[in-house]
Structure 1
Amino acid sequence: MNAQFKKGVLELCVLSKLVEADRYGYELTEAISQQMIISTGTLYLILKRLKDEAYVETYLVESGEGPARKYYHLTEQGRIHQETLKKEWLDFVNVVQGILE
């Protein structure tokens, strides 16, 4: 997959996975990696920015397999942002599809 394409849409992918359910970082990486190759470092940079912009909140959950896990939860502002990005992405894809045909 073209790295520039992926870079432009990865934030939307992360937000969309968080619409489904709260997740911890590794779990998000695994969920997205099932369909595209991503680095964990890139994902955590996106999560930090999303938290700084108040699109996600975090909370800790104790783990029986080691240290507590930091879960990411989508805020209402994050849900609105995800819907906006999704609409923009679908509009963009339609425009490109029209050009390609």
Structure 2
Amino acid sequence: MDELNTDVIQGTLDMIILKTLSWAPLHGYGIAQRIEDVSGNVFKVNPGSLLTALKRLERAGLLDSEWRKTANSRRAKYYTLTPGGRQRLAAERRDWERRAGAVTRLLAAEG
């Protein structure tokens, strides 16, 4: 049996990160764990891809960050959504729902 693909769907990582941070500020490892947990381990995020996306989202003004101590007293960069990040999340969610609806209609269509 083929191993199931656990890659995040191309083009959705930013939206998934924004959604994850809409619940609470998190550090990179926490973001990856939350995505895996909430998706039922369907999605696993490559740490390199996550770091690149976080930097890109921060440069775009969609995330703020600050260094804090974690529960085990290590320093980690915690990310939070900015108002612009919340607006982007809403826009990306609407676009996702439109596209997912279209795919569902295509899959259900009888030739």
TM-score (norm 2): 0.82
Q: Is the 8 A contact 2:15 2:89 kept in 1?
A: yes
* Residue 42, structure 1, aligned to residue 45, structure 2: no
Per-residue deviation, residues 48-77 of structure 1 (Å, max 9, x unmatched): 000010000101112463541110010000
SS at match of 1:38: coil
**Gaps spanning 5+ residues in structure 2: where?**
none
* Residue 100, structure 1, aligned to residue 100, structure 2: no
Q: Is the 8 A contact 2:32 2:44 kept in 1?
A: no
Aligned equivalents of 1:10, 1:79: Cα separation in 2: 15
SS at match of 1:8: coil
Go from structure 1 to structure 2 and tell me whether the alpha carbon gap of 1:97 and 1:64 turns closer, same or farther (over 3 Å shift).
closer
Counterpart of 2:34? 31
TM-score (norm 1): 0.89
Per-residue deviation, residues 7-39 of structure 1 (Å, max 9, x unmatched): 221111100001111101010011112321221
Instruction: Select the structure of larger CA radius of gyration.
Output: 2
Q: Give the RMSD, CA atoms, in angstroms.
A: 1.7
Go from structure 1 to structure 2 and tell me whether the alpha carbon gap of 1:41 and 1:88 turns closer, same or farther (over 3 Å shift).
same
Aligned equivalents of 2:94, 2:59: Cα separation in 1: 23
Counterpart of 2:13? 10
Aligned equivalents of 1:61, 1:82: Cα separation in 2: 25
1:77 aligned partner, one-letter code: G
Identity %: 24
The structure whose residues are more often strand, as a share, is 1
Aligned equivalents of 1:58, 1:85: Cα separation in 2: 22
User: What stretches of structure 1 move > 3 A for 4+ residues in a row?
Assistant: 63-67
Counterpart of 1:74? 81
Aligned equivalents of 1:8, 1:64: Cα separation in 2: 32
Aligned equivalents of 2:104, 2:30: Cα separation in 1: 32
Count how many residue pairs are aligned between Structure 1 and Structure 2: 100
**Gaps spanning 5+ residues in structure 1: where?**
none
